[in-house]
Amino acid sequence: MPAEEWAGVARDHAARADALTQAHRARRAAGSRHAIDDFLYDYYNTKPSLLRRWHPGAGTGLAPTPDGPAEHAVWRWYRTGDDGVVELDTGAFLAERGDTVAFVHTLLAQTAARPAHTGCLGLHEWAMVYRQDDERRRHTLPLRLGREGTDAVVEQLPLQCTHFDAFRFFTPDAVPRNRAPLTRETQVAREQPGCLHANMDLFKWASKLGPAVPGALLLDCFALARDIRTLDMQASPYDVTSLGERAVAIETPEGKAEYVARQRGFAERAAVLRARLVDVAAGLLPVREPLAG
């Protein structure tokens, strides 16, 4: 990629990243918190400075500028050729992250091959507070239906969670109510593309693939995760009106319909990004010879 081209792309990427993280950075400077948005930074250990760092992705070389090689030359896992072109050293990257790349490829490819199941209604958030003392809740937000009303919703609607990293936060009383037990060992076999958290996690897997992922794809995954997180909390048992959000009352027919419609929309967006991440991971992995016969 010519220097004048990649320099412009990198500037545009940094500007987009800054816009996506502006509210978070302002809150951090003021010492305030946000129960919806801060999840993306806390749970995924996201740093705005790393989001704004543009990577061309594996297989794309950066031509030198009049002042010398691209700044990527001193970044981890990059190499500079005799002609001054800087590119990702995939061999060095795989030497350290090969197992991770293989896992991400397997998980995302198998998830993409399954049909999307919708209609879980985001009850994972309800299961995380089911019959739990208020002092132990993850958020200080009040419960929209109160303690008894919240527990009643969990008892009236089926728990159908397929995502282990949500299931592992269920309260002890909620665990046996789930349609099937989930474990880390069964994650690859059970994850499905309609799940809000599986689709939010595309940002995590893009981050795990690091500089092999083109910058635009990383920010696309981050933007999707932020949009999904909003519905995640709108449909939760928490009262989010203090955050300027309205509830999606999944205990009502109208709320159920809205949740499923938005869940399907997110699944469609995620399918495109998941396929791109699968291609990135597949491009990094060694080609395996087909079995004889």
Who contacts 266 (Cβ-Cβ below 8 Å, separation ≥6)?
Answer: 196, 199, 224, 227, 228, 231
Helix, strand, coil percentages in the chain from 3-state DSSP, rounded to 5: 55, 5, 40
pTM for the whole structure: 0.94
Q: Where are the domains of the chain?
A: 32-51+97-284
Q: What is the pLDDT of residue 139?
A: 75
Please check the confidence at residue 293 and state whether its pLDDT lies above 90: no
Q: What is the pLDDT of residue 136?
A: 65
Q: What is the pLDDT of residue 133?
A: 81
Mean pLDDT of the chain: 94
Q: What is the pLDDT of residue 137?
A: 67
Contact 120, 160 (CB under 8 A): yes
Contact 199, 193 (CB under 8 A): yes
Amino acid at site 31: G
| DSSP states of 213-270 | S-HHHHHHHHHHHHHHHHHHHHTSSB--GGGT-----TTSHHHHHHHHHHHHHHHHHH
Amino acid at site 165: D
* 83-99 confidence digits (pLDDT tens): 999 999 999 999 999 99
Query: CA distances (Å), 190 to each of 154, 164, 171, 195, in order?
Result: 22, 9, 21, 11
Closest CA to 130 of 107, 108, 161, 163: 161
The whole-angstrom separation of Cα 283 and Cα 279 is 6
Element (H, E) at 86: strand 86-88
Element (H, E) at 88: strand 86-88
The gap from C-alpha 41 to its chain's centroid, in whole angstroms, comes to 11
The whole-angstrom separation of Cα 29 and Cα 203 is 24
Q: What is the pLDDT of residue 291?
A: 41
* 186-219 confidence digits (pLDDT tens): 999 999 999 999 999 999 999 999 999 999 999 9
